[in-house]
Structure 1
Amino acid sequence: MTNKSRPGLAITALSVGTALNPLNSSMIAVALVVLREDFALDVATVTWVITSFYLASAAGQPLMGRLADRFGPRRLFTFGMAVVAVTCAVAPFLPNFALVCVARALMAVGTATAYPSAVVMVSTLSREANISSTRPLGRIQMANTSAAAVGPVIGGVLVSLVGWQALFAINVPLSIAALLVVQRTAPPDVGRETGKLSVLVRDSDVPGILAFVGSLLLAMMALLNVVPAYRWWFLAAAVILAALFAWRELRFAPPFLDLRLLGRNRPLMLLYLGFAVFSAVYYFAFFGLPQLLQQAAGYDAGVVGVLMLPLAAASVFMTPVTVRLIERFGVRPVMVVGVVVLASASGALGLLTLSFWPPLVLVLTAFMGVPYGVVSTSSNQGLYVSARPEERGVAAGIFQTCRYLGAITATVLIGVLYGSGVNQPNWGLMVLVMLVLSAVVFVLAMAWRKPAE
């Protein structure tokens, strides 16, 4: 039975579950060297432990969101956490690297259930707690931000003390705790689909789901260039599958993704585009700056970690501040101001073409963390008010996929811009690209309007 006097516990447990995806996406970076040694791998092969997680997360988020909308967020969340617990309990004992990558993909699918489920449940939980939905969404966003920030630190400690196996094992108690608390304190799934399995499968648009997942996976594999000889074949196949997906969805009822409704929802489309481009700007700094500081400035990895820490700290600090600003001024003004700060922080990073003075780097990384907290949180709230209640799960899943698309786009462009060397002139070019992308985000943020009630 749900305890309606304890929605805060449910929000906390949902936040813990939501944190597992960004936590596992970031802390694995410190285990690559150990994995290479344990399984006798080359550099290219070991990166599949990251790629498998990214691909499964990006493709799984919208699918998990659709399932949350159809069958209930509490049911899906507990299922996802059970998948994580079982997978991570078995993974430390796997005998080869291929199975480790499979375990990472399963873990990604399990953790992908958390964010869409949390967004779907926010309405009921905030109503029971008699608070604005902005606050629980802010707590969920803070969990995302904090987990990604502390992931390398936690991962470093676990790998040094235990080994790469600990990166799986730590998920077991966290996922079980989140599962049990949500099961006991979250609202029951009411008004969701039930019935015979055969009927549910028939009405689930399985061909549409497969075409969507397949086209997204192929497109991302092309962007990541995971098999260089087939990059353009992957991209062509992705386009063909995407066209087949659109043709199917416009003719099937009920569709996996209602393209007509999505096309009519201008605020949601603007938000997706804005968040994807914003994520690209952020990950330019998150991925590109450490390389600059290590190779051009000559700082070792430990020093670079300290110099990047203000970025994460400022992001976490700004999340609750942004929640209060949204409650007072609304989503759009806060989002627009956040994007202006994003452009200012991006331009300020151009000072690194002149100097690598450590205090300057600390100030600049902290400055860059401010818009990440502001724009991420306001976009999260914008998603909530833009999507219809019955479609918030799939909308939240696509939102998370936009983050991955932005990150992958940034990774590809960094490779191009650093192609001739990781140096200050090339960093200057990267800053110019960040400014152009920030201008695009500004235009999209100005065009966004909260849908009429």
Structure 2
Amino acid sequence: MTNKPRPGLAIAALSLGTSLNPLNSSMIAVALVVLREDFALDVATVTWVITSFYLASAAGQPLMGRLADRFGPRRLFTVGMALVAVTCALAPFAPNFALVCVARALMAVGTATAYPSAVVMVTELSRLAKLPATRPLGRIQMANTSAAAVGPVVGGLLVSLLGWQALFAVNVPLALLALIVVHRAAPADAGRETGKLSALIRDSDIPGILAFVGSLMLAMMALLNVMPGYRWWLLGAATVIAALFAWRELRFRPPFLDLRLLGRNRPLLLVYLVFVVFSGVYYFAFFGLPQLLQEAGDYDAGLVGLLMFPLAAMSVLVTPVTVRLIERFGVRSVLIAGALILLLSSGGLGALTLSLWPPLVFVLTALMGVPYGVVSTASNQGLYVSARPEERGVAAGIFQTCRYLGAITATVLIGVLYGPGVNQSNWGLMVLVMLGLGTVVLGLAVAWKRKGV
């Protein structure tokens, strides 16, 4: 006996599941100082708790998109949520920092199933709900936006009251709820192949995945100067492996990262570039600002979380408005407007080099929440209209990888710029980098164009 699909409930549960990845990527921002103290780490080392999550997510998203297209989005979603629940139930008992990073990587793989699965299901769910696809996509994006933005608030409260272990434990009931509801309310995976495990392993392009992760890891080790005296050797090895990765992906079928998809679809490529660079700007603020407030301002994690709350509130308020503006004015116009606001808000953060007065921080984080909601939502809609229906799962996976590439770049540069000290002077250098990247986002937004949108 099969359950009758309930599209509204299914969209809500998919939104919950997709929110777990951005939620966990942002909650950790206010736990970095606590983790440094608990495990006696320096600034560069503690960033691996972030980069392990993003490396696994970056590698997992394109693969999960292809698996959603091949084996069915509902099946993949439930497996991913089960992995999250089990991992997060065990992670609080990790005895050392290395295992904390491993747990974060496994959590990233599980949560990476959610967004591609949701995008693949949107067409059928919107048909059943008799809604344009922009509406369920907007709801899913609003969940992602609000989860990433509210993460420091939730994380700050959990860390200050219960410790960093609570950041894992909170995921267990959320993942189980999303799993159960999607299994009961989403349409069955009709017409999808089941396949064999041996075929899945053969087609998964494991060498490509390893080359992708390896090149990123070596580049980060070089930039963070993990092995003094070998920086240029590490950077050279990263470049060679990246070249071999590109060579293989252009020849392997089906590739882990479909580079040909990017080459033949210019609007989609520009959406990806916008999101990579935008994510770099955003995560400079997202991970750099909490550390500045905690160390230079001597604020505790709970207060830092509250000071980041306006970002969450503005992101949530802006997202549904952005969806309506896109329906009226099109993706490109809204994307350009979001890029302009991004430049304005990034420049405003330069005021924190002069003062860390809490009301000033409150206003500036609220301002930063506006472009986060606008650019994220417009990019998400741009992805949907640029990708062909049969490629949306893979396209959505690559889209999320773009977020992680931007975030990885930001965390590495934060480690470099904060290496001499977490202070307002070095924060000023970050703001200059953010303004430069924001200008690139604006140029790419102007260049993006899709007929009819």
TM-score between the two structures when normalised by the length of structure 1:
0.88
1:57 aligns with: 57
1:112: Cα distance to partner? 1.1
1:47: Cα distance to partner? 4.9
Match status 1:397 vs 2:397: yes
Distance 1:353 1:37, change over 3 A: closer
2:202 aligns with: 202
1:452: Cα distance to partner? 6.8
Give the secondary-structure state (helix, strand or coil) at the position aligned to 1:255: coil
1:177 aligns with: 177
Q: 2 CA distance for matches of 1:197 and 1:421?
A: 49
Cα deviations by residue, 1:396-427 (Å, 9 ceiling, x for unpaired)? 22222222222232334445555666555554
Q: 2 CA distance for matches of 1:90 and 1:224?
A: 30
1:141 aligns with: 141
Distance 1:3 1:55, change over 3 A: same
Q: 1 CA distance for matches of 2:345 and 2:95?
A: 46
1:298: Cα distance to partner? 6.1
Is the 1:63–1:394 Cα contact (8 Å) retained in structure 2? yes
Name structure 1 gaps, 5 residues minimum.
none
Which residue type is aligned with residue 185 of structure 2? T
2:307 aligns with: 307
Superposed CA RMSD: 3.0
Alignment of 1:49-198 (within 5 A): 49-198=49-198
Which residue type is aligned with residue 83 of structure 1? L
Distance 1:398 1:232, change over 3 A: farther
Is the 2:80–2:114 Cα contact (8 Å) retained in structure 1? yes
Which residue type is aligned with residue 261 of structure 1? L
Give the secondary-structure state (helix, strand or coil) at the position aligned to 1:336: helix
Which residue type is aligned with residue 153 of structure 1? V
Is the 2:156–2:305 Cα contact (8 Å) retained in structure 1? no
Distance 1:181 1:298, change over 3 A: closer
Cα deviations by residue, 1:229-278 (Å, 9 ceiling, x for unpaired)? 55444433332222222222333333333322321111111111111111
Is the 1:386–1:451 Cα contact (8 Å) retained in structure 2? no
1:3 aligns with: 4
Distance 1:34 1:246, change over 3 A: closer
Is the 2:78–2:182 Cα contact (8 Å) retained in structure 1? yes
Name structure 2 gaps, 5 residues minimum.
none
Give the secondary-structure state (helix, strand or coil) at the position aligned to 2:15: helix
Alignment of 1:411-422 (within 5 A): 411-417=411-417
Sequence identity, in percent?
80
Match status 1:343 vs 2:338: no
Which residue type is aligned with residue 267 of structure 1? P
1:364: Cα distance to partner? 2.5
Is the 1:88–1:168 Cα contact (8 Å) retained in structure 2? yes
Distance 1:119 1:228, change over 3 A: farther
2:246 aligns with: 246
Give the secondary-structure state (helix, strand or coil) at the position aligned to 1:252: coil
Alignment of 1:366-381 (within 5 A): 366-381=366-381
1:75: Cα distance to partner? 1.4
Distance 1:252 1:416, change over 3 A: closer
1:150: Cα distance to partner? 2.8
1:358: Cα distance to partner? 4.2
Distance 1:236 1:376, change over 3 A: same
